[in-house]
C-alpha cells in the first residue's frame, strides 16, 4: 500500500495506540461472529511479540455518545483472551485519569483494551481534545480498523494530528486486496451485486459500470430493476422512489456496453418468515400475494455459467433473504461457486459487505476466497474510488518514523 505500515517502525519498548475494528455482532451479550476479532489478531500479536506496549481501542455498535451497558467491550475482551491464550485487561472508560494510570503501568508485551470509544460523543464528532487525550497514551498510532476508515472520527483521523500514524497488517491487506480491483484487475472482471436496496448501492453500481464487463444483480435490489422495466412483482420489496435511478443505471450499462444481468426466475413466499412456504416461479409470473425472496435455480445456473469466464469477481450483497434457510440457496450457491473458482482456477474472488461476508463465513468458505473484506461500508466506498479519511491520514510510504530511545 502507499502508506507506511507497522513493519516500517521499530516498536520495541514503545507504547502503541492500536485502533482495531472489534465491532462484532452481539446477540444478548454473546458474540455471534468473531471474524473481526480474529482478523485483528495478526497486528496485535505482531506488536506484542516485538515488545511494544499495546493500548487497543475500538467502537462497538451505536451507543450514540452515551454509556450503554449492552455495548461494553467485555465480551470482546473475553473472546480476545481465549484467542490469544492470555488474559486481556480492560478499562472502564476510553479516557480519563483511571485509564492513564493503567496505561502508565504497561510493560513491554502488555496489552490493555479500552472501553467502547463511542461512549463519548467526541469520538464521532472528531473532537481534537478527545483525540489528543487518546494520543497521550502512546508514541505511535497504528490503524488496523479498515471497517471504520471511511469515517473521520477522533480515533481514526483526529489522533493522527498528534502521533505518527501507520497502517496495521489487516489495513494493509484490505487496501492491497481491494486496490487490485481498482488497479488493473485481470479481465474479465465481473461483479455480483445483491442485498436489499438499490438506494444503498447506487454509487458502487455506477463505479462498477466503469470497471466491470458484467454486473449480475440479485437480492431485493433486482426487484427494483425489474420493476423499472415494467415487471409486476406482487408483494416484493420494490423501492418505488428508485425506479428512475434504476432505469438510469440500465441505460448507462447499455451505453458502456456492460452486460447487466437480472434474474429470470425467483423463489417466492407469502412473507419473510422462517416457516414460510416457498416455491419457484418465472420472474414474469410472481403471484400478486407473493414476494420474491431469492433468485431461482435457472438464474443460479445462468449466473454461475456466465461467471465461469471471469478472472476477477467482486461480490457484494446476498442474492436473497439468506437468513432463512429456505431462502438462502441463491446466496449459498454463489458462495460455493466462487470459492471453487478461486481454489481450483485461481480466479480472484473478493467479497465485501457485512451480510454477504456473514453468509460466506457461515458456510466456512472465507478461507477459500481470495479476500473477504472486514469492511462493509468502507469496502464499498473504497471501490467507488473515494478517499477513505482513515487511510489518507496515514504517513506516506517512505516516510521515516524514529520513536527514539526506549524510556
Ligand atoms: P451487505 O451487508 O452484504 O452489503 P445488504 O445489507 O445490502 O448486504 O443486504 C442484506 C439484506 O438484504 C439481508 O438482510 C437480506 O435478507 C436482504 N435481502 C436480500 N434479498 C432480499 C429480497 N429479495 N427481499 C427482501 N430482502 C432481501
Ligand atoms: Mg448489510
pLDDT at position 407: 67
351 contact partners, CB below 8 Å, separation of at least 6: 314, 315, 316, 338, 357, 360, 369, 371, 372, 373
- Cα(4)–Cα(10) distance, integer angstroms: 12
Nearest C-alpha neighbor of 225 from the set 207, 199, 203, 204: 199
Element (H, E) at 335: helix 329-345
CATH class name, domain 6-174+388-392: alpha beta
pLDDT at position 256: 98
Share of the chain above pLDDT 70, in %: 100
For residue 80, pLDDT beyond 70? yes
How far apart are the CA of 361 and the centre of ligand 2, in A?
Answer: 14
CB 203 near ligand 1, within 6 Å: no
Give Cα 259 distance to the centre of its chain: 26
Extract the C-alpha cell encoding 372.
473477504
Angle at 293 between CA 292 and CA 297, to 5 degrees: 90
How far apart are the CA of 321 and the centre of ligand 1, in A?
Answer: 6
Please provide the average confidence, as pLDDT, over all residues in the chain: 96
CB 220 near ligand 1, within 6 Å: yes
Q: Which atom of ligand 1 is nearest to the CA of 292?
A: 23
219 contact partners, CB below 8 Å, separation of at least 6: 193, 194, 195, 196, 295, 317, 318, 319, 320
230 is catalytic: no
Q: How do residues 99-153 score in pLDDT, each as one tens digit?
A: 999 999 999 999 999 999 999 999 999 999 999 999 999 999 999 999 999 999 9
Share of the chain above pLDDT 90, in %: 96
CB 234 near ligand 1, within 6 Å: no
The Cα-based distances of 13 to 48, 62, 141, 164 in angstroms read: 10, 35, 14, 16
Q: Which of 35, 194, 196, 290 to mutate to test the pocket of ligand 1 (most atoms within 8 A of CB)?
A: 196
159 contact partners, CB below 8 Å, separation of at least 6: 17, 19, 131, 134, 135, 141, 165
For residue 33, pLDDT beyond 90? no
pLDDT at position 406: 87
**169 φψ region: left (φ > 0), alpha (ψ -120 to 50), beta (else):** alpha
118 is catalytic: no
pLDDT at position 302: 98
Instruction: Note the pTM of the prediction, 2 decimals.
Output: 0.93
- Cα(124)–Cα(255) distance, integer angstroms: 41
Which residue has its alpha carbon closest to ligand 1 atom 14?
321
The active-site residue out of 36, 118, 173, 341 is: 36
- Cα(78)–Cα(131) distance, integer angstroms: 26
Give the residue-averaged pLDDT of 385-390.
95
Give Cα 402 distance to the centre of its chain: 32
Query: For the chain, where do the domains classified as CATH 3.40.50.1260 start and end?
Result: 6-174+388-392, 187-346
> Is the CB of residue 295 less than 8 Å from the CB of residue 217?
no
354 is catalytic: yes
Angle at 134 between CA 133 and CA 137, to 5 degrees: 95
CB 237 near ligand 1, within 6 Å: yes
The β-bridge partners of 268 are 279, 292
72 is catalytic: no
CB 147 near ligand 1, within 6 Å: no
CB 195 near ligand 1, within 6 Å: yes
Model confidence band, residue 376 (pLDDT cutoffs 50, 70, 90): confident
183 contact partners, CB below 8 Å, separation of at least 6: none
> Is the CB of residue 291 less than 8 Å from the CB of residue 255?
no
pLDDT at position 235: 97
Q: How do residues 187-216 score in pLDDT, each as one tens digit?
A: 999 999 999 999 989 999 999 999 999 999
| Chain length of the chain | 407
Q: Taking the CA of residue 24 as centre, how many other CA atoms within 13 Å lie in the half-sphere pointing to its CB?
A: 25
Architecture of domain 187-346: 3-Layer(aba) Sandwich (3.40)
Q: How do residues 220-277 score in pLDDT, each as one tens digit?
A: 999 999 999 999 999 999 999 999 999 999 999 999 999 999 999 999 999 999 999 9
Extract the C-alpha cell encoding 188.
474479465
Amino acid at each position: 500500500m502507499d502508506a507506511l505500515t507497522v513493519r516500517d517502525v521499530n516498536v520495541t519498548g514503545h507504547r502503541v495506540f492500536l485502533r482495531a475494528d472489534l465491532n462484532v455482532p452481539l446477540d444478548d451479550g454473546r458474540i455471534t461472529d468473531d471474524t473481526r476479532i480474529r482478523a485483528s489478531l495478526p497486528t496485535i500479536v505482531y506488536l506484542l511479540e516485538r515488545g511494544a506496549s499495546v493500548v487497543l481501542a475500538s467502537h462497538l455498535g451505536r451507543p450514540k455518545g452515551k454509556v450503554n451497558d449492552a455495548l461494553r467491550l467485555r465480551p470482546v475482551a473475553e473472546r480476545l483472551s481465549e484467542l490469544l491464550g492470555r488474559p486481556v485487561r480492560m478499562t472502564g472508560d476510553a479516557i480519563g485519569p483511571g485509564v492513564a494510570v493503567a496505561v502508565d503501568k504497561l510493560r513491554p508485551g502488555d496489552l490493555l483494551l479500552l472501553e467502547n470509544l463511542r461512549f463519548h460523543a467526541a469520538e464521532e464528532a472528531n473532537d481534537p481534545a478527545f483525540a489528543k487525550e487518546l494520543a497521550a497514551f502512546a508514541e505511535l498510532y497504528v490503524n488496523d480498523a479498515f471497517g471504520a476508515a471511511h469515517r473521520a472520527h477522533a480515533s481514526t483521523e483526529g489522533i493522527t494530528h498528534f502521533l505518527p500514524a501507520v497502517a496495521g497488517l489487516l489495513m494493509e491487506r484490505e487496501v492491497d486486496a481491494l486496490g487490485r480491483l481498482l488497479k488493473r484487475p485481470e479481465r474479465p472482471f465481473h461483479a455480483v451485486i445483491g442485498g436489499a436496496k438499490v438506494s444503498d448501492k447506487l454509487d458502487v453500481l455506477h463505479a462498477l459500470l466503469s470497471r466491470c464487463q458484467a454486473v449480475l444483480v440479485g437480492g431485493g435490489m433486482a426487484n427494483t430493476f425489474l420493476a423499472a422495466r415494467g415487471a409486476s412483482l406482487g408483494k416484493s420489496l420494490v423501492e418505488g422512489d428508485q425506479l428512475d435511478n434504476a432505469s438510469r443505471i440500465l441505460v448507462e450499462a447499455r451505453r458502456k456496453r456492460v452486460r447487466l444481468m437480472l434474474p429470470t426466475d425467483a423463489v417466492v413466499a407469502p412473507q419473510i418468515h422462517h416457516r414460510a412456504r416457498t416455491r419457484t416461479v418465472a420472474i414474469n409470473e410472481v403471484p400478486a400475494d407473493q414476494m420474491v425472496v431469492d433468485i431461482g435455480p435457472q438464474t443460479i445456473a445462468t449466473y454461475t455459467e456466465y461467471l465461469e469466464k471471469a478472472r476477477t469477481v467482486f461480490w457484494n450483497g446476498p442474492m436473497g433473504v439468506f437468513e432463512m434457510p429456505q431462502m438462502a440457496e441463491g446466496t449459498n450457491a454463489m458462495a460455493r461457486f466462487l470459492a471453487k473458482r478461486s481454489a481450483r482456477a485461481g480466479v480472484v474472488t473478493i467479497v465485501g459487505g457485512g451480510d454477504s461476508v456473514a453468509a460466506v463465513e457461515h458456510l466456512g468458505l472465507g478461507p477459500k476466497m481470495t479476500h473477504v473484506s472486514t469492511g462493509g461500508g468502507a469496502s464499498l466506498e473504497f471501490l467507488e474510488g473515494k478517499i477513505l479519511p482513515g487511510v489518507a491520514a496515514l504517513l506516506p510510504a517512505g516516510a521515516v518514523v524514529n520513536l527514539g530511545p526506549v524510556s
